[in-house]
Amino acid sequence: MAKQDKPKRKPTHAIYHVRGEDKNAYWTRVGAAWIHEDGEGLSLALDYVPVNDTGRLVVRANKPAEGEQSGQGEAQR
C-alpha cells in the first residue's frame, strides 16, 4: 500500500487520548486533524492508536500562535 501524503497546510485541530477525569485527567497528544475545504468533516492523522478502553479520544481546535490571525481551526461564533 502506498503511503498517503498528509495535507500541505497546518493542522487545524489536535487529537488527544485522555485518561481520567477533571484535574486527574492525563492528556497525550496522538495526532492531528484538518477541516475539509467544504467545512463538513475532518481528515485525521494518528501517530499513535490507543489499544485499551481506559480513555477517550478528544479533538480540540488549535489556538493561533501569538501574532497569527485565527483561521479554519477556530469555531464560528
> Is residue 33, in this structure, part of any structural domain at all?
yes
* Structural domain boundaries, residue 50: 13-61
Q: Give me the pLDDT at residue 70, please.
A: 53
The pLDDT value given to residue 77:
28
* Tens digit of each residue's pLDDT (9 = 90 or more) over 47-57: 999 888 889 99
Decide: pTM greater than 0.75.
no
* 70 is a domain residue: no
Report the number of distinct structural domains present in the chain: 1
Residue 69 domain-assigned (yes or no): no
Q: Residue 21 domain-assigned? A: yes
User: Is position 23 within any domain?
Assistant: yes
Return d(Cα 71, Cα 63) in angstroms, integer.
9
Question: In this structure, is residue 77 part of a structural domain?
Answer: no
Residue 35 belongs to a domain: yes
**So what's the pLDDT on residue 8?**
72
- Which of the residues in the chain have pLDDT under 70? 1-7, 68-77
